[in-house]
Structure formats: C-alpha cells, structure tokens
Amino acid sequence: MPTPAIRPLAAVHLREALTAAADGHAPEALAALMHIDNESWQGIEHRLAALGTDLLDVLAHTARQAAA
C-alpha cells in the first residue's frame, strides 16, 4: 500500500502550526491544523509513526524547545 501523499498546502499549514506552537500561540496552531485535508493527515500520521512519534508529541516538543 503506498504512503498517503501530503499536499504542498498541507505541508505549509503544518509548518504554520509548528511555528505558532513554538511562539506559544495555541489558537493559531490549531487553526492551521484544521486546514489540513484528510489524505494529507493520513500521510503526516504515517510519516510521524515511521519516526516513532505522533503530532501531539511533535507539537509539545516544539513548544518546549521554544520555551527553553
């Protein structure tokens, strides 16, 4: 089964979410994540699982790193 694709716009929204999380702006992070389409979500989750993590861990890590 092929890995689900991550559309370019979804990658932009994910980057915006991570940047907002790093800046301590949770509402903006959530808003960016809400714009990601279902197929891209599947691709993101698949790739993060291959790295042994998930989106919540990545967001939490990003926020901790920014706070340090």
Q: In this predicted structure, what is the pLDDT of residue 30?
A: 95
Question: How far is it, in rounded angstroms, from Cα 26 to Cα 21?
Answer: 6
Rounded to two decimals, the pTM is 0.89
| Residue of 67, 64, 62 whose CA lies nearest to 16 | 62
pLDDT (tens, 9 = 90+) of the chain, 68 residues, equals 788 999 999 999 999 999 999 999 999 999 999 999 999 999 999 999 999 999 999 989 988 888 77
Q: What local confidence, expressed as pLDDT, does residue 3 receive?
A: 86
